[in-house]
A and B are shown apart, each in its own frame.
Chain A
Amino acid sequence: MAVSETVRGPAANVSANSPDGPPNRFRQAIPQYAAVSPFFILFAIFGAFPVLFSIWLSFHSWDGIGTMKWVGIEQYSYLLTDPSFWKSITNTLIIWVISTVPMLALALVIANALHNATRFRTFYRIAYFIPNITSVVAVTMVFGSIFSNNFGLLNAFLQSIGLDKIEWLSQPWGIKIAIASIVAWRWTGYNAIIFLAGLQAISSDIYEAARVDGASPRQMFWRITVPLLRPVILFTAVTSTIGGLQIFTESQVLFGSSGAIGGPGDGGLTIVSYLYDSAFGKNQFGYGAAIGWALFILIVLFSVINWRLIGGNDDERLTSRAARRVQRRIAAERAATGKADADAGKEHADAH
């Protein structure tokens, strides 16, 4: 408010009315630029510069102290033939899928319950959000003792009901399940709150109309709630993907002190933990930077896939290609069925 007043204030009017010619628009805007500049200056120093430097670094071999040695694309070609790197990608994707899918489904159910809850709503909202603001290190340590091989709570429970114990933190799948459950524990409540916000934005008129038409609760959920929540689901899916591809702290806390950062058999080696180990464990900073850029490409790739899967079919977000596809279909229908039918077809396509 204060900024816009400055523009319209008397000083601006004076210069605009002065006979010396048109006002210098940039000079007028200097206070605004000055006001927003701290962010850009800080971003340039702590954001843009490190990003650009890491590109530069990824073409070098550097141990952190001595001189940097130019090696061209050697880091990247080593990366592509590095079994540990591919293992870290597979691990990350598996952990991502087995954490994100149940997490988002559960979050939607919880959000629905919260939306319909009549008593203690604030309490439940806070209760579901608390895991997210709990220190991930503390959470991981607790989960570490739950999943612990010999003396873990989970194994004690399994044995008490007559089952064999499972070496959660030694077997590749056990490790992934343990990490995925930490991730799910932390983020389910967070996503539920986001979903809840989306639910509350849906007008109750639509539900009332559906109820009048005799829709069952299940139909209302699948035909109204889920489609109208699509932008919110897209948001949670994209943020979960970005978060899921960057899983690090969990495996770091579970196994970090043991030397092998991925745990037994590298079952918990994620992309970021491999990056961290390469750069800060083995002091191969150039290689670490190369892994970072590979991770960046992966995240872009998966965000695009998410967008296509969840957001891309939305009528309001039709890409030009999809619009042309509809046009072609209409034209084809028109050609096939004659003009009268084609008009109906057009209406049909519009109604979609």
Chain B
Amino acid sequence: MAVTRRRFLGLGAGGVAAAAGLTGCGSRSSLGGRDELSMWCWTGSVNDSLIATAEKGIAGTDKKLAMTRIGGDYKTKVLTSLAGKSLVPDIIGINDDVATYFPNADQFHDLRDLGADKVEADYLPWKWKLGITPENKMMAFPMDTGPTALFYRRDVFEKAGVPTEPADVAAAAPDWDSYIQLGKKVKAAVPGSAITDNITSIFSYALAQMPKRYMTAEGQYIGDGDHIRKAWDLAVRVVKEGLSANAQSGSTDANAVVTNGRLVAFIGAVWWAQLGPKNAAPKTKGLWRVTPSPGGPGNRGGSFLGITKYCKDPEAAFAFITWLESAKNQAQSFLDPVLFPSTPASYTDSRLTGPDPFFGGQRIVDVFADSAKKYPGAYFSPYDTIIGTPLSAELVNVEIGSKSSDQAWKDAQRQINRELTRAGAI
């Protein structure tokens, strides 16, 4: 009855062989049936009725769309599927960390080979560029964008005796300096007022206005440069002036400061309107306004679509993508789930230009469209996440008072250096 050692090892080897067979090395195929194009996206990244149309049949092709909305750790699931080299979806949604896929651009079709140049003129030039690798391969196609602007509570500004109408606020606070002065006036009149939820928001949005970020396109690290330090010092200054609500992102406090009216102004991306006041503080309907942000136009967020090299019919996939991201359909995606178009032609579409009752009937699209068109664009490197994480983490240390600004800056740079050296970036 006893299992001999040799027999046991034999059984074990059989199991490992079975495991290797199951992972399916060699059978490079894409997910879904032969007449289907499979697509993965995260929840809330596409308009449902457009997808429903494509699921009946993609115009100009003999294929139908099979869409899967992935919850939870979307990127992990995509990477797992790509690592398996089998059953990879034909089309995948990619978030604003698109550059982290660049080292593996060989896993995707070059969209220029499929005729992307023909539609380039329809899209915001800086957005178009973000999907192109330093080797000049077009890996990702533009979906929505995240132009930034200044959100503020008109009623609180009125109480504080500062300008209240969007044009006047923009004129009174054209840069961060004057904006901080304005914030101090509001705080003096309405105690407890804050112009940011926490220190990292100021840093991120100041960075989102800059024409360069952490690396140059040539691969040189510039995250210790003056422009980053300027955004850093600005964030520290807002905290020192007492204008931050100290509600760290991800905490329940972050919503609470919107709900209870502490956050009276916020430089945010267009999607914040939904995530912030509309969801967290529906009772403030009609009290908010939007105006061009101090410090200039910026962009934070926005997503892309890529066609994997496992795709069974790249032409059909490309036809679907260009249809889904046409100016007409991007305008529809703005209605639900509030994705801001990357196609300037959408900005005059009547579905976007209607007055928004939440913002007192203001035509908020004009403000964001202006920001999107004037945004200078910046190079995102594959290492931006590695660099950005220690910077934000150390900024939080400054805000909670556990480190001085200079010490935190030094620690962040040391950590970044270690990580970049290991990643082989410097």
Q: How far is the CA of A82 from the CA of B249 in the complex (A)?
A: 26
The chain A residue with its CB closest to the CB of B423 is A284
| Residues of B contacting A25 in the complex (Cβ-Cβ under 8 angstroms) | 1
A257 touches which of B12, B200, B250 (Cβ 8 Å): B250
Taking a contact as CB atoms under 8 Å apart, the answer to whether B389 and A259 are in contact is yes
Taking a contact as CB atoms under 8 Å apart, the answer to whether A265 and B252 are in contact is no
A45 touches which of B19, B248, B386 (Cβ 8 Å): B19
> What mask results when residues 144 to 155 of chain A are scored 1 for a CB within 8 Å of chain B, else 0?
110011111000
The interface-forming segment of B32-40, B332-340, B349-357, B392-400 is B392-400
Q: Main secondary structure on chain A at its contact with chain B? A: helix
Q: How far is the CA of A66 from the CA of B423 in the complex (A)?
A: 14
Known: A29-B1, A48-B15. A167 touches B104 (CB 8 A): no
| Residues of B contacting A43 in the complex (Cβ-Cβ under 8 angstroms) | 15
Closest Cβ–Cβ distance, residue A349 to chain B (whole Å): 39
| Residues of A contacting B3 in the complex (Cβ-Cβ under 8 angstroms) | 33
Taking a contact as CB atoms under 8 Å apart, the answer to whether B16 and A49 are in contact is yes
> What mask results when residues 4 to 43 of chain B are scored 1 for a CB within 8 Å of chain A, else 0?
0001000110111011001000000000000000000000
> What mask results when residues 78 to 120 of chain B are scored 1 for a CB within 8 Å of chain A, else 0?
0110110000000000000000110110010000000000000
Known: A169-B251, A256-B250. A40 touches B11 (CB 8 A): yes
The chain B residue with its CB closest to the CB of A42 is B15
The interface-forming segment of B159-167, B183-191, B253-261, B319-327 is B253-261
Taking a contact as CB atoms under 8 Å apart, the answer to whether B257 and A150 are in contact is yes
| Residues of B contacting A32 in the complex (Cβ-Cβ under 8 angstroms) | 1
Taking a contact as CB atoms under 8 Å apart, the answer to whether A167 and B250 are in contact is no
Known: A44-B12, A150-B257. A65 touches B83 (CB 8 A): yes
Question: B247: CB under 8 A from chain A?
Answer: yes
Q: How far is the CA of A145 from the CA of B75 in the complex (A)?
A: 28
Taking a contact as CB atoms under 8 Å apart, the answer to whether B389 and A265 are in contact is no
| Residues of A contacting B18 in the complex (Cβ-Cβ under 8 angstroms) | 41, 44-45
A169 touches which of B80, B248, B393 (Cβ 8 Å): B248
Question: A63: CB under 8 A from chain B?
Answer: yes
Q: How far is the CA of A83 from the CA of B7 in the complex (A)?
A: 46
Taking a contact as CB atoms under 8 Å apart, the answer to whether A148 and B253 are in contact is yes
Closest Cβ–Cβ distance, residue B116 to chain A (whole Å): 22
| Residues of B contacting A319 in the complex (Cβ-Cβ under 8 angstroms) | none
Taking a contact as CB atoms under 8 Å apart, the answer to whether B83 and A64 are in contact is yes
B400 touches which of A26, A78, A170, A257 (Cβ 8 Å): A170
Interface centre among B248, B386, B402 (most CB of A within 10 A): B248
Closest Cβ–Cβ distance, residue B335 to chain A (whole Å): 26
Taking a contact as CB atoms under 8 Å apart, the answer to whether A63 and B1 are in contact is no
Question: B76: CB under 8 A from chain A?
Answer: yes
| Residues of A contacting B148 in the complex (Cβ-Cβ under 8 angstroms) | none
The chain A residue with its CB closest to the CB of B422 is A78
Closest Cβ–Cβ distance, residue B73 to chain A (whole Å): 6
Q: How far is the CA of A164 from the CA of B256 in the complex (A)?
A: 20
Known: A65-B83, A265-B397. A144 touches B249 (CB 8 A): no
| Residues of B contacting A281 in the complex (Cβ-Cβ under 8 angstroms) | 385
Closest Cβ–Cβ distance, residue A145 to chain B (whole Å): 5
Taking a contact as CB atoms under 8 Å apart, the answer to whether B397 and A259 are in contact is no
Taking a contact as CB atoms under 8 Å apart, the answer to whether A260 and B79 are in contact is no
Question: A171: CB under 8 A from chain B?
Answer: yes
Q: How far is the CA of A255 from the CA of B250 in the complex (A)?
A: 6
Which B residues from 239 to 294 make CB contacts under 8 A with A? 245-253, 256-257, 260
> What mask results when residues 268 to 308 of chain A are scored 1 for a CB within 8 Å of chain B, else 0?
00000000000011111000000000000000000000000
Q: How far is the CA of A34 from the CA of B373 in the complex (A)?
A: 68
B246 touches which of A26, A150, A256, A283 (Cβ 8 Å): A150
> What mask results when residues 394 to 426 of chain B are scored 1 for a CB within 8 Å of chain A, else 0?
001101101000000000000100100011000
Known: A41-B18, A44-B18, A45-B22. A151 touches B256 (CB 8 A): yes
Taking a contact as CB atoms under 8 Å apart, the answer to whether B83 and A264 are in contact is no
> What mask results when residues 209 to 246 of chain B are scored 1 for a CB within 8 Å of chain A, else 0?
00000000000000000000000000000000000011
Q: How far is the CA of A66 from the CA of B418 in the complex (A)?
A: 22
A44 touches which of B15, B245, B249 (Cβ 8 Å): B15
Taking a contact as CB atoms under 8 Å apart, the answer to whether B16 and A150 are in contact is no
The chain B residue with its CB closest to the CB of A146 is B252
Q: How far is the CA of A45 from the CA of B251 in the complex (A)?
A: 39
Q: How far is the CA of A262 from the CA of B389 in the complex (A)?
A: 11
Known: A65-B107, A150-B256, A266-B393. A44 touches B251 (CB 8 A): no
Taking a contact as CB atoms under 8 Å apart, the answer to whether B79 and A283 are in contact is yes
A63 touches which of B104, B393, B397 (Cβ 8 Å): B104
Question: A131: CB under 8 A from chain B?
Answer: no
Question: A243: CB under 8 A from chain B?
Answer: no
Taking a contact as CB atoms under 8 Å apart, the answer to whether B16 and A48 are in contact is yes
A260 touches which of B101, B246, B253, B389 (Cβ 8 Å): B389
Q: How far is the CA of A288 from the CA of B14 in the complex (A)?
A: 28
Q: How far is the CA of A146 from the CA of B256 in the complex (A)?
A: 13
Known: A44-B16, A172-B402. A151 touches B252 (CB 8 A): yes
> What mask results when residues 168 to 180 of chain A are scored 1 for a CB within 8 Å of chain B, else 0?
0111100000000
Question: A219: CB under 8 A from chain B?
Answer: no
The chain A residue with its CB closest to the CB of B408 is A265
Known: A65-B107, A66-B103. A148 touches B252 (CB 8 A): yes
Q: How far is the CA of A45 from the CA of B104 in the complex (A)?
A: 28
> What mask results when residues 241 to 265 of chain A are scored 1 for a CB within 8 Å of chain B, else 0?
0000000000000111111101111
Taking a contact as CB atoms under 8 Å apart, the answer to whether A264 and B73 are in contact is no
Closest Cβ–Cβ distance, residue B125 to chain A (whole Å): 29
Q: How far is the CA of A172 from the CA of B15 in the complex (A)?
A: 46
Known: A49-B16, A150-B257, A265-B397. A144 touches B251 (CB 8 A): yes
Taking a contact as CB atoms under 8 Å apart, the answer to whether B104 and A280 are in contact is no
Q: How far is the CA of A148 from the CA of B247 in the complex (A)?
A: 9
Taking a contact as CB atoms under 8 Å apart, the answer to whether B251 and A149 are in contact is yes
Taking a contact as CB atoms under 8 Å apart, the answer to whether A148 and B256 are in contact is yes
| Residues of B contacting A172 in the complex (Cβ-Cβ under 8 angstroms) | 402
Interface set of B (CB-CB < 8 Å, partner A):
1, 3, 7, 11-12, 14-16, 18-19, 22, 73, 75-76, 79-80, 82-83, 100-101, 103-104, 107, 200, 245-253, 256-257, 260, 385-386, 388-389, 392-393, 396-397, 399-400, 402, 415, 418, 422-423
Cβ contacts A to B, 18 pairs, < 8 Å: A37-B11, A41-B18, A44-B11, A44-B15, A44-B18, A48-B12, A65-B83, A65-B101, A65-B107, A149-B246, A150-B245, A151-B252, A151-B256, A170-B400, A258-B251, A259-B200, A265-B397, A280-B73
Interface set of A (CB-CB < 8 Å, partner B):
25-26, 29, 32-33, 37, 40-41, 43-45, 48-49, 52, 63-66, 78, 82-84, 144-145, 148-152, 167, 169-172, 254-260, 262-266, 280-284
3 closest pairs, A vs B, by CB? A44-B15, A258-B250, A257-B250
- Starting from the known contacts A167-B246, A283-B100, 17 additional A-B residue pairs (CB-CB under 8 Å) come to A33-B3, A40-B11, A44-B16, A49-B16, A65-B83, A65-B104, A82-B418, A83-B415, A150-B256, A152-B252, A169-B251, A170-B246, A255-B248, A258-B251, A265-B393, A265-B396, A265-B402
